[in-house]
Amino acid sequence: MRVIWRACGTCVLVVISVLLSALARGADVTNEQAATVMRQEHFDKDPGWDGLNNRLKPDPKDIPAIQQNFGYSKTAFAGGETGEIGGTIWRSVTPAFYAEKIEPKTLNDKLTSSGKFTITKIASNAGIWFGWFDASAQQTGNARPTSALGLNLDFQGDGARLSVRATNDKREGAGNFITPYLPGEFRTAPLGKDIHYSWTLTYDPQGGGGNGRVEFMLKSLNTNPEQEARMKELAQGWASLKSERSRNKLATGHYGAPDFDGKVFTFDLPSGFKSSGTKFDHFGLINCLKQGSSADLYFDDVEHDGKKEDFAADPNWDGLNNRAHIADTMRTGYHDFGFSQGTNLAGGAPGEMGGIFWRTGKAYGYYADRIGPLSLDDPLEAHGKLMLKFGTPDGEMCFGWFNSSQKERVPVRSRKNELGEIRKDSRDTHLGKSDNFVGVYLTKDHLGCALHPALVTAKGEKKIQSSEAPHPAPGQSYDWTLKYDPRAANGQGAITITLAGQSATLVIDPKLREQGANFDRFGFFASGGGGMVHIFFDDLEYTAQRR
């Protein structure tokens, strides 16, 4: 009996050992934390992370000294009697305006304006805004005015294009091109020099189903041979469009129209847009707030909200930097992000990570912790705090797990065929990494900055979740969570970003999963010339290595 007991005892021990081993393996499979190690970073001191091109400084000789020179003028360029407003207006990161101070208006008020304007000098990359705006809301580096409604003139070559836009306190945007313009496909600038244009703009807060509707019309009052040639060229360009997709877009009117002269355009504000607390306390001229060049432009016979101004005498409107020498030290493309010792914008104690990220800037740049190796077979998780100061149109940045080998690669701009489709032998500049990334792609849309789950495989193929993305409001601190579960969606794998109760998930296509991806960094990089994102992060915890 004793021998039999020993034999059975041995069997029992073996069975128990096997069961324990199986349970342990099951725990490794079911518990996402079991196979990996998390790391914390509170930035209470410099973490010594790996930085590449994250602090770029322009050469002092490349910083232009510009001269804003606009306001009341005893001239008659706009076609009326002597007396008008305007002059030389630079697109600059420093706000400059000349405008009438008005009793505060909101998007719940009916607003009207009309008048005439003439362009007398044009240079590419100039930008001007005319209309209602909040003088106290303007911020250095924000490409278009915040809390504004009006005419937006952008200059290209020897012409200008026009859109009518609204922005609210959350820096959400809405608008309509008047002159036809499809970025990357049909880039026209048909407004010419020395032409007198008249306009009317009406905003009805009850229109658009109660969301607010804008109605606008532009009409040329004269012409000249140069302008006639320009309009003929525009008509020929429209006739030669081969892409049905482009024609359909332009036919909607939201991208302008070739027959814009004398045509009435309307657009509705998105639901909830006007309830953001937007207010306007000035009406007049303000520069577009991004590095650029200058144009000369004049306005006359202006009427807004029932008040007429023919500028026969100096109206003594409010002015800021409109007659000033300015050095634009914030240059396009010069990243400025990393450890920030004295700030706590994202929340928590002083010390955080953040700054300014430019899309397709002077160089690819990142700031990241050395981790790994990790791959698409590993469960990945990160969480922390963030605070978005602002993001400009075309602004982008990314955070998550990536590979430092990216610094050896040169981003390739996408090339499109005549149908507007991206060719298979090129990579898009959006999410401008060539390979190996799992994380969040932050980009600016009409509702603000959106957080999209994204993947770039080892072969450079990418996928970005494009709908129902969380939108952080500027100036607020948020908790966020990022998870990649390789077993989700029946083993396909999925990436999920969660922010303030909102979430977005990207399920990985099996063909992309097969291509794999490898990671040796966790952190933040500039994506993708484009705009910028000003953002801060703190109190991070993230998957750093395997056990």
- Spell out the domains of the chain, with CATH numbers in brackets: 32-56+333-546 (2.60.120.200), 66-105+117-191+226-251+278-327 (no CATH)
Percent of the chain with pLDDT over 70: 88
Residue that the structure tokens 């100039």 belong to: 126
Q: How far apart are CA 533 and CA 399, in angstroms?
A: 13
pLDDT for position 178: 97
Phi, psi of 82 (to 5 degrees): -60, 135
Across 57-77, average pLDDT: 89
pLDDT over threshold 60, residue 118? yes
Left (φ > 0), alpha (ψ -120 to 50) or beta: where does 311 sit?
left
Percent of the chain with pLDDT over 90: 65
Q: Which span out of 33-37, 405-409, 484-488 was modeled with the highest average pLDDT?
A: 484-488
pLDDT for position 307: 96
> pLDDT tens-digit profile of 250-292?
888 889 999 999 999 999 999 999 888 799 999 999 999 888 8
* 231 SS3 class: helix
pLDDT for position 271: 92
Residue 255 near residue 115, CB atoms below 8 Å: no
pLDDT for position 432: 65
State the average pLDDT for the chain: 87
> pLDDT tens-digit profile of 170-210?
778 899 999 999 887 888 999 999 999 999 999 999 999 99
pLDDT for position 430: 55
CA angle 342, 332, 369 (to 5 degrees): 45
Q: How far apart are CA 403 and CA 419, in angstroms?
A: 34
pLDDT over threshold 90, residue 248? no
Of 24 and 180, more confident: 180
pLDDT for position 32: 44
What's the helix, strand, coil split of the chain in %, to 5? 15, 45, 40
Q: How far apart are CA 82 and CA 453, in angstroms?
A: 57
Q: How far apart are CA 21 and CA 32, in angstroms?
A: 18
pTM for the complete prediction? 0.75
pLDDT over threshold 80, residue 547? yes
pLDDT for position 395: 84
* Band of pLDDT at residue 20, cut at 50, 70 and 90: very low
Across 85-99, average pLDDT: 94
> pLDDT tens-digit profile of 458-478?
998 999 998 889 999 888 999
pLDDT over threshold 80, residue 331? no
pLDDT for position 243: 81
Least confident of 421-425, 454-458, 485-489: 421-425
* Band of pLDDT at residue 9, cut at 50, 70 and 90: very low
Least confident of 1-5, 240-244, 356-360, 498-502: 1-5
* Band of pLDDT at residue 391, cut at 50, 70 and 90: confident
Across 14-25, average pLDDT: 36
Q: How many beta carbons lie within 10 A of that of residue 503, not counting itself?
A: 16
Q: How far apart are CA 162 and CA 218, in angstroms?
A: 9
Phi, psi of 196 (to 5 degrees): -90, 120
pLDDT for position 21: 39
First to last CA, the chain: 46
Across 387-406, average pLDDT: 89
Q: How far apart are CA 66 and CA 90, in angstroms?
A: 7
> pLDDT tens-digit profile of 495-541?
999 999 999 999 999 999 999 999 999 999 987 546 789 999 999 99
Cα-based distances in Å from 181 to 5, 177, 189, 234, 312 = 88, 7, 8, 11, 36
pLDDT for position 378: 97
